[in-house]
Each structure stands twice: as structure tokens, then as C-alpha cells.
Amino acid sequence: MLWQEWRGYKCDFSKNGYRLPTEAEWEYAAKGGDKSKGFKYSGSNDIGEVAWHRYNSDEQTHPVKSKKPNELGLYDMSGNV
């Protein structure tokens, strides 16, 4: 088996398929992981810098990566509509 362990998590790369992250995994990633600077939103204290939302989106979706990423380089963790 091709196992990789990271911080107590194990991944079997010999399996076929994908899964959604657990709530805890998603929250950890959204908060910036071990690089977190404690922002209110994912990557900034100003939601307009990192997310499309009710007041800046014209009620439309927008292209991915059109706002700033968080500390881990992940985009759109705070919203896109």
C-alpha cells in the first residue's frame, strides 16, 4: 500500500477516487492552516478582498481566483456568490 501520513492523518494513494474534506479539514484550510494570521475571513479582515458576496457580486458568480487567496494559497474559501 502507498500510505502517507501527515499530522496523524493517513492517506492510501492506492485507492481510486476522491472525497470531500471533513468539516474540520475544510475549516483548517479556510483558516490558513499552520500559516494562519488570524484573519476574520479566509485571507483578510476585509471580506471584499477575498470573496464575492451579496453586496459586491451583482448577484452573479465570478471566475475562480479573481480575489486574493488565503495564507495557504487557497481561493474562494469565504464565498463566490
Query: What stretches of 1-81 show up as alpha helix (H) in DSSP?
Result: 23-30, 47-50
Per-residue pLDDT tens digits for 16-46: 877 888 899 999 999 999 999 999 999 999 9
Residue 61 CA: distances (Å) to CA of 37, 42, 43, 47: 27, 18, 20, 16
The domain segmentation of the chain, as residue ranges, is: 24-81
Mean pLDDT, all residues of the chain: 87
Confidence of residue 55 (pLDDT cuts 50, 70, 90): very high
Return the pLDDT at 7.
Answer: 65
